[in-house]
Each structure stands twice: as structure tokens, then as C-alpha cells.
Structure 1
Amino acid sequence: MATNSPSSTSDIIISSSSSSHQMETSHLPITAHKLNGQNYLQWSQSILMFIRGKEKDDYITGASAAPETTTSTYKKWIAENNMVMSWLVNSMTADIGENFLSFDTAKEIWDTAKDTFSDKENTSEIIQIEGILHDLRQGNLTVTEYFNTLTRLWRQLDTFEVHNWNCVTDGFLYKKIVEGKRVFKFLLGLNKNLDEIRGRIMGVKPLPNLREAFSEVRREESRKNLMMGSHQQLNMAESSALNTQFGPFDNRQKIKGGSVDPHFSRASPLDRRDSLFIYL
């Protein structure tokens, strides 16, 4: 039976370490949301996602504290802490990043950025989003586009509105209440041609959740679009059949406006009298 030699095991470890280092030093942009003083929420979520993807979030939460300088792990900690610091500073605009160059740890940078740039109450953002939601209707949007717009705004609202519940049950109940209100908002903003499916859903007890309601409405929209397309094709087919049988209406001369059918003008007076009933 074959066994792994010490050298092959060592090669695997080196290869794994090299791969990890390449991932951490890749030239992919850290975030598309550079901290500019006005976008702390977007920046913090984006950079946190990046740092967690590198498994280095302990350096900004404080879970990875600096070891004693005499320990064998100190040098590695310094290197990784500085790497996270560079990620944070490079994800800021130049004028803001300069203010953090003299900091000693990634956690200090993270905490100071939060204290300096975050709007703890987020009042203005919440008012703005609530105003957009209040006025939003389906209009010219498809059901899917309308639903996606709503859910994007609701996610932003959830990010700004942070509630610390004393009881898990209270938090769960609050989410159910919010979900129900959002189902009503989605349904009430639909166009008139979806009144029937809206009434059906609102009559269901218990009320479906948001995604179930969206799925039902989207299917109804697809059904209506399919029927409308079939109806239009049928009308076009009937029109084409009539044109083939009788010819275009515009090519037939009429009596109105002084136009006289050539056949009518060449006919005898008696024939014209009999034919008059046809043309009238």
C-alpha cells in the first residue's frame, strides 16, 4: 500500500499556503463603494463582506488580539493585521484614508470609521426610503420589476432599522407583522388588470407570505400575457383571411365622394337600379 512521504506532505502544505496567499493578495478591487463620508452603510457592508471572505474579520472585531511580542505567532499577527489595515485604508477615498494611516490596529480603524461616519439613527435615510415606498406603484413595470424594486427598498430599510429585542418571540412576531404589511403594499400597488388575483390572495386565510403572493401574481400576469398574445394572433389571422377572400377594402371604389364603381357606370339603367341596393 502506497504511503505519503514527508516531502509530499510538505509540498501539499506549501501549495495550500501559497494558494491562500494568492487569494489574499489578488488584484481584484476591494469594494466598489469607497468610503467618501456619505456612504458609510454601503461601504461597511461591502468591505465587511470582503474581509469575511478572506477569513480575517477577527482583526476588526477584536477577537484576534495581539499576542505577546515574544511569542512565535506575533510576527504572523502583525503581518495579517497590517494586511487588513491596508484593505480598510485602500477602500476609502484618499483624503479620508490619510486620517487612518497612523493607526496601530485594524480594529481601531474600523471602530473610528463607524464613530465618525455612521448615522446612528439613520433618520434621513429612513424618511427618504419610506417616501419612495409610499408613492411606488407598478405602473409600466412588469410584476417582477415592481416586486424587485420593493424588495430592494425593504432590504435597505431593514439595514437602517436595527431593533434589539429582549425576547426572541417578540422579534419573530414583529417580523410576521412587517411581512403582512408588505404583502398588502405589494398587492395594493398592482395595476387594475390584476384586480381579480389581488382579491383572491387577500381573501386567503392565513395570508400568504410575500414570495408566495408574488409567485401567484406573476403566474397570473404570464397567463394574461399569453391569452392576449393568442387573441392578437387570432385577430391577425382572421384579418388576413378576409383580405385573401375579398381583397383589401381600400382597393374597392365607393360611391361616396363622387367615386363610382366602373361596373356600375357601364350597367343598364335597370341593372343600376337593382345594383343600387347592393352599393347602398
Structure 2
Amino acid sequence: MNKITDVKLNGSNFLGWSKTIIVHLRSIDKDDHLDSGPPTDDVKDDTRRAWLRDDAKLLVQIRNSIEPDILSLVNHCEFVKELIDYLTFLYSEHTNISRIYSVCKSFHRGEQHDKNATAYVMEFNKVYEELNSLLPLSGDIKAMQKQREQIAVMSFLTGLRPEFDAFKNQLLSE
């Protein structure tokens, strides 16, 4: 197999794309490559060589499932874990304020337009899942407080008139 999925990572589809990659690795019993790097030198040479070979095959398949402009950002990654960790840092960090803003805006201003009810519900659920991924439930009071502050900022920014777009863009780029 040359690639894991026909849907290439373009940045905005990271949540669905990463789920596909994870499920695929789990289905072939290679999800350990998500949790650990290469075996240390004290591991038997054959075991280490087999792990490195498997990881290289998976790395090529995953890289073939990524858009070229994003590939240039991850050329330094040599192992599956390193690649997935870096992509997670780039595209799903909970501190990614501009992505949280975009998802909150879609969530709070969702409109059916000319979609049928099923398509609208599916689109709404997709946005809802991404919002939950960006702002997960937590028992940590400080994390909850930070999330509430982020939601308040998103609500404020969403309500601003168009003449404040420059201000809004400046805040979102920080």
C-alpha cells in the first residue's frame, strides 16, 4: 500500500485525518509506533531492525497521505511517532486560538442553507466533535477556567462588526 488514505492532510482536516491514521495503525497492530520511538541499542539487533523497517514503511505511507505543502514542514521527522506528535502540535494544540475561533464561529453560527436535514446534522456534528477535541472536558479547574476564557474571547470576536476585522485578525495571529 502506497498511502493509508486517499484524503490527504491539508491542515484543516487534521482531526478526521489523524483518526483514520490511528485506526489504520491499530487495525494492523502497529499502533505502538504512535507511542514510542525506536528500540534502544540494547534490544536484540533483529528486533530493532524489524521495528525500524516497519516504522519506515508506515512513515512512507503516512507521508504519502499528506499534501505537499505540509510535507515540507515535516521533512525533519524520521519516525512515525515524531511525525504524528509534530502534526498534532501544529494542527490540534488546545492553544491554537485561531482554529478555536474558526470552529466556535462555525458552531455558533451554523446555518442549514440549501442542505437537506441529514447533511446539516452531519456537518453540525463534525463541528461539534472538533470543538470537543479543541476544548476537551477536564477535571482540572485551571484548564476549565482557561477554556471558559477562550470561549468568552471567541464570543466577543464573533460579534464584532466588520470594521474591526484588522483588530480581530491581530488578536488571532498572536
Q: TM-score, normalised by structure 1?
A: 0.40
Q: Does 1:115 align with 2:100?
A: no
| Larger of the two Rg values belongs to structure | 1
**Whole-angstrom CA distance in 2 between matches of 1:126 and 1:158:** 10
Q: Does 1:66 align with 2:39?
A: yes
Q: Does 1:89 align with 2:56?
A: no
- Given the superposition, is the C-alpha separation of residues 92 and 140 from structure 1 closer, same or farther in structure 2, using an over 3 Å criterion? closer
For 2:150, the equivalent position in structure 1 comes to none
Q: Which amino acid aligns with 1:81?
A: D
RCO higher in structure (CA 8 A, sep ≥6): 2
Please point out which of 53, 57, 61 is paired with 1:79: 53
**Whole-angstrom CA distance in 1 between matches of 2:8 and 2:46:** 35
| Equivalenced residues, count | 141
- Given the superposition, is the C-alpha separation of residues 151 and 30 from structure 1 closer, same or farther in structure 2, using an over 3 Å criterion? same
For 1:130, the equivalent position in structure 2 comes to 104
Q: TM-score, normalised by structure 2?
A: 0.58
CA RMSD of aligned residues (A): 3.5
CA drift of 1:41 comes to 3.3
- Given the superposition, is the C-alpha separation of residues 94 and 135 from structure 1 closer, same or farther in structure 2, using an over 3 Å criterion? closer
**Whole-angstrom CA distance in 2 between matches of 1:52 and 1:83:** 15
**Whole-angstrom CA distance in 1 between matches of 2:103 and 2:90:** 23
The aligned runs of 1:84-233 (5 Å cut-off) are 84-98=58-72, 100-101=74-75, 103-136=77-110, 144-166=118-140
CA drift of 1:37 comes to 4.5
**Whole-angstrom CA distance in 1 between matches of 2:35 and 2:90:** 17
Q: Which amino acid aligns with 2:133?
A: T
Structure 2 gap ranges (5+) = 142-174
Cα-to-partner distance string for 1:79-130 (whole Å, 9 max, x where unaligned): 1121122122222223443554554422222222333444432433333343
- Given the superposition, is the C-alpha separation of residues 38 and 152 from structure 1 closer, same or farther in structure 2, using an over 3 Å criterion? closer
Structure 1 gap ranges (5+) = 1-25, 168-280
Q: Which amino acid aligns with 2:5?
A: T
